A and B are shown apart, each in its own frame.
Chain A
Amino acid sequence: MWTDLARVLRLWAPRRAALAGAMLVAMVSALSGVALLALAGQGVAAGLAAGGIFGLAALVWVRPLVLLRPLLRWGERMTSHAAAFHALADTRVWFFRRLAERMPGGIGMRGSGDLLGRVIGDVDALDRLYLGGVLPAGAGLAVLLAIVALLAGEPWLMLLVCLPLAFALVLPLLLAPAAARAAQRAAERRGGLRAAVVDPLAGLEDTLAANAEARAMDRLDGADRALMRGQRSLAKRSAWAGAAGGLLAQLAILAALGWGLAGGTEAAGMVVLALFLSVAAAEALGLMPRAGAALASAGAGARRLFEAADTPAPVAEPSHPAAMPSSSELVLKDIRFGWRPGAPVLDRLDLTLGEGERVAILGPSGAGKSTLSALLTKLAAPEAGTIRLGGTDIAGLPAADIRSRIVVLSQQARLFDDTIAANLRLAAPGAPDAALWRALAKAGIADHVRGLPEGLETRCGEGGTRFSGGEARRIALARALLPPAGILILDEPTTGLDAAAERAFLATLATACEGRSLLLVTHRLTGAEPLDRVLRLAGGRLLAATA
């Protein structure tokens, strides 16, 4: 837990100045609270001791503090929250970057609901590290030191008062490890609740089609109950820690009174001072033991965040990238690869795709056609064999450069919940509308888009749900045709297109990939494709096919 929290703090290093500044304000604010009560105490004590000048003078100083203290408290809260939220926003972006880096082929077995929970809920929990842990600890320490200084005249009194207060300050460190397990469980269950909500909603039609509403409700109910149990155990720890904190602060009051009772009336002034200081400390230090549960929650959030963010990258980036070759000739030699160990999908595969060549790869579903395009775009690295682009091994080339040279229209190509134009411009930022229309025309969907009242500005809906399957596929196709990449890999480009649309698209394919190499991955050919060669993928190898 502590290592995770330390890593979070390192992650927040760029915000160090703001975080430290807020801490300073918090300390000053806490000290002003001590000063207010100390002066009030002095005033009362002096008044009771029949009118010392010091007592009334002390009360004069109370007046500006009465105004200053709430102001400082407000400033402390604003600056500390502003700094903490900046750090949280940074963390969210960092997390997304990491995922993109570590899961370039998609989120795989991790559900999107689970990851959403991590980026929203678990990142939110991190603010407790600072706001609930570091910050109050700093303020509490300042208060404790001030009390030590003010009571230094009576060492035994100081010791009696400060011991319970110091104990309240270190209590969270003792409580946190035990609370960590409960916090971890609560965080996991919150993730479970989110998954229970997202999973059936992501496949809403299929959930409904199976009349699985009742089962989805049961799952939600179970997840909610589990979360409640987890939260309750954490709340219990927090509540009792809070009670302990209040008690420790009050113990300081009792200690001061006890010291007075034992010592007699001479030191009564000091007792009153100690009493009021203890009351002031209750505010700063009494809440401190709760920090244990807060730190544990933050630690659990950090654990879950790093666990997802530390998924190993499937293909490491080269440390000394080679220069991009100008030629787009692809040569694959002796490739072996499998997604599961011991089950190779591709075995001793050879392929040469000359510059400007158009080759089709045929094969039944599951034969490894999509795997091949994953290898070519460095979403995975071959277990054996080499892939050369223009003579350079792609292992030595940066993945981003490879992906701008080789564009894949995969089966999972997704339209985002944004406008058609924005979805297309993903592939070519800043492309003029005319280019977008040309790409749409090649994909055979321009007329349809023109017929929409909002044209290019029509929103696609999540995953392109605004359109029929064939229309969405064609927009994705237009997007793949847009960038000027040297090599185009189309994985079943005509899925969901009717026969007439398919013929029309294949007729434009020759012009669409003019001057580019084309790898057409498909399970059947219509005969209309403008191809140079046809290969068949079988048994993990590519063989020439008689088309």
Chain B
Amino acid sequence: MRQARVQAWRVALPIGLGLAVTACQVAVAFLVARILTTLLGFSTGGGWGDLAGAGALMLASAGLGGVQELAQQSAGEHARARIRAALFARMLELGPADPRGVGEKAALLVDRVEALDGFFARWLPAMTLAVLSPALVVALVWRADWVSALVLACLGLLVPVAMALTGIGAARESRRQLDVLGRLAGRFVDRLRGLATLVQFNRAEDEARALGAAAEEFRWRTLRVLRVAFLSSAMLELLSAFTLGYLAWRHGALMVGRGASDPTLSLFVVLMVPAFFAPLRAFSAAYHEAMSARGAAAELAPLLEALPAAGLLLEEVPRRVALVFNEVELRHPDAPKPALSRLTFALAPGEVLMLVGPSGAGKSSVLRLLMGFARPTAGRIAVNGQDVTRLRPSELRRLSAYVGQRAHLFGGTLRENIRLARPEASEAEVIRAAEAARVMAFAAELPQGLDTPVGEGGHGISGGQAQRVALARAFLRDAPLVLLDEPTASLDPGTEAEVMEAIARLCTGRTAIIATHSAALLGLSGRVLELGDRRLADAG
């Protein structure tokens, strides 16, 4: 909540407008009371002039109310946008270290941040208005009938008590509800991305049922949150109905009994009841929105409060890179054995290193450490003599062209997917990269060529083709350090030979590490380092 303080004027504006609305309502109630008493023959003050005045005030109050609502909306949206941007930046910074699934992250960024809206848009102004507006009404009613004013004030003071009583545990419930929503979203995205696998095994129906159970849990969690909100608004209605009943009885009886009180003021007091409770109603509604915002904020706070990644910036990307791994260890928190244990090697600028070994031996880990996706748990990695942990991870990545095992194609055209690696590259450079990675070999046959759209995850092209697009990114990137993880794994021997030639060219003059199983790739000139479960041996 503290992270995004709303500018003071953004809150002050709806408060001022809210007070103006109450003032209009008070005036209208007085005019209506005067017309009524005139009608009933108690006085002669009211007439068509009063009616016109009341009409004009009603118009003004409706207009002011509309403007107030819009002012609140605008305060909320600015606060939300700021929080969302901060969260997203933080998630990108955490990178693959954040174990949450994509759907869950999306639920945090979109739905939880939306849930904060009520806090900024309505809670902050409603809190102030719930004190000022009723106070204004009580002060005016006091002049008419102090007993009525006292009754209003006492019942008004009961409202926050009722809110607090019914709101106990509301924030917790709402946090649980949002957790369930996050899980539901996570499950849905995960299953959608593997829809083909589910269909293959005829399990879509079971999954639909499991999803139904998750949706059902979300339903009753939501209802539990609302039950609290409904309970407190029922309390509020009880208070307001009681007030109205009592004041109607009091003023009815006053006049029957003694006839001493001014009938205009009596009617005025009764008519003031709705205006008195309106801001309290808004307060009650906003209170529950604020509670669910607290629930949402509880999950967001740790992400928002974390300090931004510290580290040095690169003045410029060096032309040549020398690498040293010294006793490097990488251990995942819950894994029984380290992903990488005490790895030592050195790589001179322009040298090419082949990492081989059975799957799970830690080949990818070496590359991920150099990409800053993970930090070594022991040992030291140095780039040009500098400890890499001193660099900010995003700066470290500026050194490298990287193709991971699960290279992702984004929804967009082939060209956009390649250009991602270096957006400022010229058209000719993109084409050259596409040619080098043999993307043109298949793109040329597509009717739209490089402008062929591909779906998220590379729908519409084969696995081997997607891999070549990812490789084209590395060509376009033009970085001094080349990191390739199984770059030819899903290529046929013909294409592999062609791509390999291109990789050889890519690595010329650059420091490169290539993790591979392929015997063909081992034909590239370079050192071979075998990682294994056994001892690590530098076989160079």
- Which of A77-85, A152-160, A321-329, A508-516 forms part of the interface with chain B? A77-85
In the complex, are the beta carbons of B359 and A258 less than 8 A apart?
no
Say if the beta carbon of A344 comes within 8 Å of chain B: no
Within 8 A of A (CB), among B21-72: 28, 32, 35-42, 46-48, 51, 54-55, 58-59, 61-63, 65-66, 69-70
A526 CB, nearest partner CB in chain B, Å:
10
Which of A97, A117, A232, A498 counts the most B-chain CB atoms under 10 A from its CB? Answer: A498
Q: Which residue of B63, B89, B201, B402 contacts A426 across the interface (Cβ within 8 Å)?
A: B201
Q: Which residue of B54, B189, B463, B473 contacts A116 across the interface (Cβ within 8 Å)?
A: B189
Say if the beta carbon of B249 comes within 8 Å of chain A: yes
A252 CB, nearest partner CB in chain B, Å:
11
In the complex, are the beta carbons of A469 and B359 less than 8 A apart?
yes
In the complex, are the beta carbons of B193 and A414 less than 8 A apart?
yes
Say if the beta carbon of B238 comes within 8 Å of chain A: yes
Q: Which residues of A contact B206 (CB under 8 A)?
A: 429
In the complex, are the beta carbons of B398 and A89 less than 8 A apart?
no
A165 CB, nearest partner CB in chain B, Å:
15
Instruction: Give Cα A200 to B220, complex, Å.
Output: 33
Instruction: Give Cα A468 to B36, complex, Å.
Output: 82
In the complex, are the beta carbons of A208 and B394 less than 8 A apart?
yes
A81, closest chain B residue (CB): B226
Known A120-B185, A500-B358: A469·B397 in contact at CB below 8 Å: no
As a 0/1 sequence over residues 436 to 473 of chain B, the CB contacts with chain A under 8 angstroms (1 = contact) are 00000010000100000101110111111100001001
Q: Is the interface of A mostly helix, strand, loop or mixed?
A: helix
In the complex, are the beta carbons of A410 and B200 less than 8 A apart?
yes
A94, closest chain B residue (CB): B208
Say if the beta carbon of B196 comes within 8 Å of chain A: yes
B169 CB, nearest partner CB in chain A, Å:
18
In the complex, are the beta carbons of A112 and B456 less than 8 A apart?
yes
In the complex, are the beta carbons of A411 and B245 less than 8 A apart?
no
Q: Which residues of B contact A115 (CB under 8 A)?
A: 188, 192
A51, closest chain B residue (CB): B256
Q: Which residues of A contact B198 (CB under 8 A)?
A: 100, 426
In the complex, are the beta carbons of B490 and A379 less than 8 A apart?
no
In the complex, are the beta carbons of A48 and B397 less than 8 A apart?
no
Say if the beta carbon of B227 comes within 8 Å of chain A: yes
In the complex, are the beta carbons of B192 and A107 less than 8 A apart?
yes
In the complex, are the beta carbons of B359 and A109 less than 8 A apart?
no
Say if the beta carbon of A180 comes within 8 Å of chain B: no
Q: Which residues of A contact B200 (CB under 8 A)?
A: 377, 403, 407-408, 410, 413
- Which of B96-104, B283-291, B322-330, B382-390 forms part of the interface with chain A? B96-104
Known A89-B219, A417-B190: A257·B494 in contact at CB below 8 Å: no
In the complex, are the beta carbons of A250 and B58 less than 8 A apart?
yes
Say if the beta carbon of A210 comes within 8 Å of chain B: yes
Say if the beta carbon of B486 comes within 8 Å of chain A: yes
Say if the beta carbon of B333 comes within 8 Å of chain A: no
In the complex, are the beta carbons of A108 and B459 less than 8 A apart?
yes
Known A36-B241, A232-B77, A462-B102: A199·B456 in contact at CB below 8 Å: yes
In the complex, are the beta carbons of B195 and A243 less than 8 A apart?
no
In the complex, are the beta carbons of B192 and A364 less than 8 A apart?
no
Instruction: Give Cα A160 to B212, complex, Å.
Output: 51
Instruction: Give Cα A117 to B114, complex, Å.
Output: 13
In the complex, are the beta carbons of B36 and A275 less than 8 A apart?
yes
In the complex, are the beta carbons of A498 and B517 less than 8 A apart?
yes
Q: Which residue of A78, A198, A495 contacts B227 across the interface (Cβ within 8 Å)?
A: A78
Within 8 A of B (CB), among A400-421: 400, 403-404, 407-408, 410-417
Instruction: Give Cα A96 to B420, complex, Å.
Output: 32
Known A47-B256, A217-B88, A426-B198: A469·B405 in contact at CB below 8 Å: yes
In the complex, are the beta carbons of B106 and A197 less than 8 A apart?
yes
In the complex, are the beta carbons of A426 and B358 less than 8 A apart?
no
Say if the beta carbon of A209 comes within 8 Å of chain B: yes
Known A62-B249, A205-B373: A268·B110 in contact at CB below 8 Å: no
Q: Which residues of A contact B209 (CB under 8 A)?
A: 93
In the complex, are the beta carbons of A271 and B39 less than 8 A apart?
yes
As a 0/1 sequence over residues 473 to 510 of chain A, the CB contacts with chain B under 8 angstroms (1 = contact) are 00000010001000000001001111111100000000
Q: Which residues of B contact A261 (CB under 8 A)?
A: 35, 38-39, 46-48, 51
Say if the beta carbon of A334 comes within 8 Å of chain B: no
Known A247-B62, A496-B486: A109·B411 in contact at CB below 8 Å: yes
As a 0/1 sequence over residues 171 to 184 of chain B, the CB contacts with chain A under 8 angstroms (1 = contact) are 00000000001001
In the complex, are the beta carbons of A104 and B195 less than 8 A apart?
yes
Instruction: Give Cα A45 to B371, complex, Å.
Output: 81
Q: Which residues of B contact A121 (CB under 8 A)?
A: 110-111
B134 CB, nearest partner CB in chain A, Å:
19
Q: How many residues of B contact A (CB 8 A)?
A: 169
A40 CB, nearest partner CB in chain B, Å:
4
Known A205-B373, A254-B54, A497-B517: A468·B360 in contact at CB below 8 Å: yes
In the complex, are the beta carbons of A232 and B55 less than 8 A apart?
no
In the complex, are the beta carbons of B191 and A108 less than 8 A apart?
no
Q: Which residues of B contact A496 (CB under 8 A)?
A: 359, 405, 486, 489, 517
- Which of A20-28, A143-151, A233-241 forms part of the interface with chain B? A233-241
Which of A59, A197, A413 counts the most B-chain CB atoms under 10 A from its CB? Answer: A197
Known A49-B40, A104-B199: A498·B359 in contact at CB below 8 Å: yes
As a 0/1 sequence over residues 71 to 115 of chain A, the CB contacts with chain B under 8 angstroms (1 = contact) are 101100110011001101110110011011101111111111101
A420 CB, nearest partner CB in chain B, Å:
14
Q: Which residues of B contact A211 (CB under 8 A)?
A: 394, 397-398
In the complex, are the beta carbons of A343 and B85 less than 8 A apart?
no
Q: How many residues of A contact B (CB 8 A)?
A: 166
In the complex, are the beta carbons of B36 and A427 less than 8 A apart?
no
Instruction: Give Cα A112 to B107, complex, Å.
Output: 13
As a 0/1 sequence over residues 527 to 545 of chain A, the CB contacts with chain B under 8 angstroms (1 = contact) are 0000000000000000000
A545 CB, nearest partner CB in chain B, Å:
13
Q: Which residues of B contact A181 (CB under 8 A)?
A: none
In the complex, are the beta carbons of A99 and B195 less than 8 A apart?
yes
Say if the beta carbon of A453 comes within 8 Å of chain B: yes
In the complex, are the beta carbons of A268 and B253 less than 8 A apart?
no
A81 CB, nearest partner CB in chain B, Å:
6
- Which of A3-11, A168-176, A223-231, A388-396 forms part of the interface with chain B? A223-231
Say if the beta carbon of B406 comes within 8 Å of chain A: yes
As a 0/1 sequence over residues 189 to 228 of chain A, the CB contacts with chain B under 8 angstroms (1 = contact) are 0100111011111111111111111011100110011001
Q: Which residue of A73, A268, A524 contacts B492 across the interface (Cβ within 8 Å)?
A: A524
Q: Which residues of B contact A343 (CB under 8 A)?
A: 447
In the complex, are the beta carbons of B84 and A108 less than 8 A apart?
no
B161 CB, nearest partner CB in chain A, Å:
16
A371, closest chain B residue (CB): B462
In the complex, are the beta carbons of B486 and A265 less than 8 A apart?
no
Instruction: Give Cα A109 to B517, complex, Å.
Output: 32
In the complex, are the beta carbons of B106 and A524 less than 8 A apart?
no
In the complex, are the beta carbons of B195 and A272 less than 8 A apart?
no
In the complex, are the beta carbons of A67 and B238 less than 8 A apart?
yes
In the complex, are the beta carbons of B185 and A116 less than 8 A apart?
yes
A359 CB, nearest partner CB in chain B, Å:
18
Say if the beta carbon of B292 comes within 8 Å of chain A: no
B165 CB, nearest partner CB in chain A, Å:
15
Within 8 A of A (CB), among B268-284: 270, 274
B54, closest chain A residue (CB): A254
Known A70-B237, A275-B36: A340·B358 in contact at CB below 8 Å: no
Say if the beta carbon of A463 comes within 8 Å of chain B: yes
Q: Which residues of B contact A427 (CB under 8 A)?
A: 201
In the complex, are the beta carbons of A239 and B70 less than 8 A apart?
yes
Q: Which residues of B contact A451 (CB under 8 A)?
A: 336
Within 8 A of B (CB), among A251-301: 251, 253-254, 257-258, 260-261, 265, 268, 271-272, 275, 279, 282
11 contacts between A and B (CB under 8 A): A43-B249, A45-B40, A47-B256, A48-B263, A51-B256, A86-B219, A261-B51, A366-B442, A413-B197, A417-B186, A523-B464
Question: Given A462-B186, A495-B489, 6 more contacts at CB 8 Å?
Answer: A106-B195, A194-B106, A210-B422, A212-B420, A243-B66, A246-B62
Please give me the 6 A-B residue pairs with the lowest Cβ-Cβ distance, nearest first.
Answer: A470-B359, A365-B464, A203-B408, A523-B492, A47-B252, A414-B194
